[in-house]
């Protein structure tokens, strides 16, 4: 008679191993909490200068182009809004920053690609506020909320597209993430980390560590927002970019160069492609 007990025990051990492996892959990922956003610059060099100023104080900051074409700087990862506000007020007092916004954690993804509404720093008032006249409250019409399962599906499917469109917004920005600061050595991985931060997901700093987390994706199954990795082997990864569809990916090619779009079929990248990962 076959030893069914041993057989089932082996199956359970295998499934537990798979689950443990998946949990280990997800362990390097977490949602970004409250962040601080400062600046509204028409020129990227001014945003870069502010980011460098923050980095010199040991604060990991990055600059990016908003939907309206204006550049801003974002930093921090706070569990509580009060902690983010306290840090921002301290930096204002130290004259490192002036006005600021508190960006909330990423909510359930909306159907549009709009940026989240930010909490603005309170402006000082020079006169006493007047009491507004009483207004009868008008009840808002009831709204039907989507089922939780539908929200979760929309959240997962939309985030890849949002990450891809966010990455495309960086194209043409001079790449100066490295240097002798806290972000030294981040290079191309710093770019993808910044994009994912804007999308509400905190991924590891280096391309090698980024490759250790997330779900494996076959090259023929790539979707918007997936990360594509390059190098001589899975143990020797030295470049990463964000897939944006039609065989293209956005990446920071080398120190001092602009962020650009390249194709997966390019001979150099075709030869050095190692694998891809999905994080949403």
- Do 221 and 154 share a domain, yes or no? yes
Q: Which of 11, 22, 199, 239 is catalytic?
A: 239
11 catalytic per annotation = no
Contact 120, 101 (CB under 8 A): yes
Domain boundary among 69, 88, 123: 123
Assigned domain for 130 exists: no
Domain count, the chain: 2
Range of the domain at 100: 30-123
For residues 176 and 154, what is the distance between their CA atoms, to the nearest angstrom? 35
Is there a domain that residue 243 lies in? Answer: yes
Q: What is the pLDDT along the chain (280 residues), one digit of tens a residue?
A: 455 444 334 433 333 333 334 433 445 578 999 999 998 999 988 998 999 899 888 898 999 888 888 999 999 999 999 999 999 999 999 999 988 999 999 754 443 444 544 556 655 544 555 554 444 444 544 544 444 444 443 455 588 999 999 999 999 887 666 544 434 445 788 899 999 999 999 999 889 999 999 999 999 999 999 999 999 999 999 999 999 999 999 998 876 678 999 999 999 999 999 999 999 8
Q: Is residue 155 part of a domain?
A: yes
Together in a domain, 97 and 187: no
**In a shared domain, residues 54 and 95:** yes
Question: Do the domain assignments include residue 17?
Answer: no
* Residue 169: both structure tokens together: 């917004």
Same domain? 105 vs 185: no
State if pTM tops 0.85: no
Specify if 249 maps to a domain: yes
175 and 222 assigned to the same domain: yes
Same domain, 192 and 272: yes
Structural tokens at position 17: 């191993």
Say which CATH number the domain at 53 has.
3.30.70.1070
Same domain? For 103 and 183 the reply is no
Last residue of a domain, one of 106, 123, 140: 123
Does residue 136 form part of some domain?
no
Q: Which of 59, 89, 123 is the last residue of a domain?
A: 123
């Amino acid at each position: 008679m076959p030893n069914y007990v041993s057989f089932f025990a082996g199956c359970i051990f295998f499934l537990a191993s798979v689950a443990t492996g998946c949990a280990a892959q997800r362990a390097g990922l977490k949602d970004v909490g409250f962040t601080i956003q400062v600046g509204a610059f028409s020129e990227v060099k001014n945003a870069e200068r502010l980011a460098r100023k923050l980095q010199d104080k040991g604060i990991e900051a990055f600059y990016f182009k908003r939907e309206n074409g204006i550049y801003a700087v974002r930093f921090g990862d706070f569990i509580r809004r009060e902690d983010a506000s306290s840090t921002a007020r301290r930096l204002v007092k130290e004259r490192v920053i002036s006005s600021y916004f508190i960006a909330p954690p990423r909510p359930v993804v909306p159907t549009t690609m709009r940026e989240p509404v930010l909490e603005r720093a309170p402006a000082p008032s020079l006169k006493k506020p007047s009491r507004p006249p009483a207004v009868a409250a008008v009840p808002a019409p009831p709204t039907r909320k989507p089922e939780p399962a539908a929200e979760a599906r929309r959240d997962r499917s939309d985030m890849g597209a949002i990450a891809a469109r966010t990455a495309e917004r960086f194209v043409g920005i001079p790449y100066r993430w490295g240097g002798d600061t806290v972000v030294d050595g981040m290079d191309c991985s710093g770019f993808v980390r910044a994009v994912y931060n804007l999308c509400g997901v905190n991924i590891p700093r280096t391309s090698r560590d980024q490759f250790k987390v997330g779900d494996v994706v076959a090259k023929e199954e790539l979707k918007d927002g997936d990360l594509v990795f390059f190098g001589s082997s899975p143990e020797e990864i030295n470049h990463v970019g964000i897939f944006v569809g039609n065989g293209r990916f956005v990446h920071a090619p080398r120190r001092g160069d602009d962020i650009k779009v390249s194709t997966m079929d390019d001979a150099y990248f075709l030869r050095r492609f190692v694998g891809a990962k999905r994080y949403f």
